[in-house]
Amino acid sequence: MKKQAYTTQRNPSFIGRIGISTEDVTPPEGIYARNWGAASHDIAEGLHRPLKLVCQTFQSDEDADPLVLISIDWGWWKNFEDEAFFRKGILNALSLQPAQLMICLSHTHAGPSISRQDISKPGGEHIQPYLINTQLKAVSAIKNALLTAFSGTLTWHHGKCALACNRDLPETGTDRIVVGFNPESEADDTLLVGRITDDSDNIKATIVNYACHPTTLGWDNRLISPDYVGPMRELIESRTNAPCLFLQGASGELAPAQQYGRDLTIAEMHGRQLGYAVLATLEAMLPPATELSFIKVVESGAPLAVWHQTDCQTSTTILSEMAQVEFPLKPLPSLSEIEQQWEECEDRVMKERLWRKLNIRKAIGDGEKACVPLWIWRLGDSFLIGQPNEAYSQLQLELRKYLAPFAVGVINVVNGHIGYLPTQQFYERDIYSAWQTPFAKGSLELLIQTSKSISKQMIQ
């Protein structure tokens, strides 16, 4: 009888030059921090947890151009001018090409305003100096990461965490879908954890890619906070003695069941829930550059299949691409029409909605289509795929399946922010994600197909 050949089991990995650096980017006291239409206050009155900037750089060797990954505890870009100002300043300071840099916002809803257009608001005078100071810290972090880079291995493993729940809830007695916990619908609970180790197998950093809106703290909260991301990061760093970088996944329809409050203990609880799931996933990882191999069958009370850890080669491949995806737009009011509506509106909540719609229209222009950037990096046996919108989890579900056994980290709110990318069926419903977005039906599916095509080319 022919002997069975079993597939070895391994964690997707990359080996190369890896740099790590962190900065505290907590804003000044009194900064404008109104993120909710329902909020009755404008200025943050205190601090729950510091806001952090975490930087990691990846190179095939010391002389190679780096890929620079930055995570910041911020919410979202309200307009494209501020994002361009911030990112281009970093690119120019370090002579980087656009494909080499992904700035990923955690999407906390309890952070400061990062819109210079809010200068006339209470506390708005702090925004531009804060943006410039954070930009300088980002440049410093990148330089420091490159200067202290070491020969390291990035190893990935999947886990699970039940923090994220579906948040598209059909409202009783109406045709509307409201934004809140829907216990009748399943949610993507996949957690992707990256472990960076040096040549002595010491943990030097971790990466957490998880899809869940940081909306534990709502409109009544008056504190600056990274939401659950801060407590999660502190727990992991206390156990690993190494920095933790968080990447917000495709969380368009995902959020905690308990949200919109001001109770900090719930944000702490959510952070611990995710943090312990990350630590469990780290414990389940194989050591760097090893795999599980079938060895033999031992006859005992039962025939026992024996698998052992064996050495394996780790990929050094590093590739990057920045593409433009041309999304069709829905029929929309012109920029001048929205400006007039905003000028005439006196309702505080509706005026906030119109202001957001106005900035979206400025970002996409007055045409029938809009070009939106997409970043795809290959690091050894893994992909990091970033885009500026709030995509539904279908994006990551399909890409993980399509690109298996590669590890796939999908990231929302990367290098900008425009609108939601819900699945096609929601365009026929009265739902926030469909009426907020400027993108027409089928845009998410177009992004999925484009991501598949480019990623496949990077494998061949």
Count of CB atoms situated within 10 Å of the CB of 206: 24
Angstrom distance (rounded) from CA 358 to CA 328: 18
Angstrom distance (rounded) from CA 451 to CA 187: 22
DSSP single-letter state for residue 414: B
Three-state SS at 304: strand
Assign residue 172 a region (left: φ > 0; alpha: ψ between -120 and 50; beta: otherwise): beta
2 band by pLDDT with thresholds 50, 70 and 90? low
* pLDDT score recorded for residue 1: 44
Peptide bond into 170 cis (omega under 30): no
3-state helix, strand, coil in the chain (%, to 5): 30, 30, 35
* pLDDT score recorded for residue 170: 97
pLDDT digits (tens, 9 = 90+) for 290-309: 999 999 999 999 999 999 99
Task: Give the mean pLDDT of 69-90.
Answer: 96
CA-based nearest residue to 409, from 196, 247, 213, 197: 247
Pairing state between β 150-160 and 190-198: antiparallel
Task: Give the mean pLDDT of 59-77.
Answer: 97
CA-based nearest residue to 254, from 325, 369, 152, 163: 163
* pLDDT score recorded for residue 334: 72
pLDDT digits (tens, 9 = 90+) for 215-249: 999 999 999 999 999 999 999 999 999 999 999 99
Determine what percent of the chain is predicted with pLDDT higher than 70: 97
Angstrom distance (rounded) from CA 259 to CA 267: 9
Report the mean per-residue pLDDT for the chain: 94
* pLDDT score recorded for residue 339: 72
Report angle CA 189, 194, 199 to the nearest 5 degrees. 160
- Hey, where are the domains in the chain? 11-286+316-329+368-459
Angstrom distance (rounded) from CA 251 to CA 164: 8
* pLDDT score recorded for residue 347: 78
348 band by pLDDT with thresholds 50, 70 and 90? low
pLDDT digits (tens, 9 = 90+) for 159-197: 999 999 999 999 999 999 999 999 999 999 999 999 999
Angstrom distance (rounded) from CA 246 to CA 161: 15
Report the predicted TM-score, pTM, of the whole model to 2 decimal places.
0.95
Task: Give the mean pLDDT of 79-84.
Answer: 93
Task: Give the mean pLDDT of 68-94.
Answer: 97
Q: How far apart are the first and last CA of the chain?
A: 35
pLDDT digits (tens, 9 = 90+) for 357-368: 677 767 777 778
**How many angstroms from the chain centroid is the CA of residue 122?**
29
Angstrom distance (rounded) from CA 270 to CA 257: 10
pLDDT digits (tens, 9 = 90+) for 20-57: 999 999 999 999 999 998 999 999 999 999 999 999 99
- 338 against 397, higher pLDDT: 397
Angstrom distance (rounded) from CA 344 to CA 144: 50
- 135 against 347, higher pLDDT: 135
CA-based nearest residue to 52, from 195, 233, 228: 233
